[in-house]
A = this chain, B = another copy of it.
């Protein structure tokens, strides 16, 4: 979708230079991120939740689109690595002053930034920035339009590996608004890379990309079929703006067909885990007893997300 994204994020030596997308990200790098994250999980459980790896580095959370939750996860990750964090909500600021995206970035770079965490409503914004920063400055895509949200995809891989150990025999279903979801795209590429043999997307035809099968997934419009026998059921967030739009009859209707209830979940394996990137619309994508139930790993996803972001930041920001 974004040409050249894959090549920009890897250096010529094959090391990670930026994290822009899980598309084309080699399995060994994905696994190295997950392994590094394993080492960071205990840091957040200590009395002193800090390691000095990025001390004195300047990390800019540059959010052209507001997202308190995502910004917070990166801010915590950076602070636990001892970096200096600067939060910028650009929506109402420089772009309002007519400055271009690249001028904004060049300016921040001139302040000797080490890393940019970028959220933008337009697909490709983080790639554009990555192609223009100096050597030694890293860019992390914290969500760009409908394109990618790679740290979310990676924390989901971490979560699946944590509970299922091995990707090579898994059935995974991604349910809901796949069409508009950068999270789904980032999950699909990573799951394929890690060798998941049975990957399914489930949703109404209006919310499944026309070319879904080219991504190597099986498409289901019937949820009971779609999650039958799965090891992992990933529910997507339904954006509010879709709920009363042309693509959907209503939130209630959606819940009836695609909301995850205990009854529907019974079709998956008994030890299937339930995931959701948050924030949840209870009663729309997911029924509360399931969201809070014994199969839900939704809150562990958040916890692992900090460790995964620490891993990515430390890999991008450390000299060696």
Q: What residues of chain A have their CB less than 8 Å away from a CB belonging to chain B?
A: 44-50, 55-58, 66-69, 72-73, 75-76, 79-80, 84, 86, 88-90, 92-94, 97-100, 103-104, 106-112, 240, 278-282, 299-303, 305-306, 319
Contacts and interface: CB of A to CB of B under 8 A. Distances in A.
A69 B45 CA distance: 32
A110 B299 contact: yes
Contacts of A66: 92-93
A307 to B, nearest CB: 10
Contact of A110 (B90, B92, B111, B302): B302
A246 to B, nearest CB: 20
A233 to B, nearest CB: 19
Given A49-B84, A50-B56, A69-B94, 9 more contacts: A44-B111, A50-B84, A72-B111, A76-B86, A103-B280, A104-B279, A107-B299, A110-B299, A112-B303
B48 A111 contact: no
A303 B109 CA distance: 9
Contacts of A279: 94, 97-99, 103-104, 107
6 contacts: A44-B112, A49-B58, A50-B56, A76-B86, A107-B299, A112-B303
A57 B107 CA distance: 27
A300 B299 CA distance: 43
A229 to B, nearest CB: 29
A94 B97 CA distance: 26
B319 A47 contact: yes
A56 B45 contact: no
B112 A49 contact: yes
Given A56-B48, A86-B75, A93 B68 contact: yes
Contacts of A108: 72
A98 B303 contact: no
A66 B94 CA distance: 10
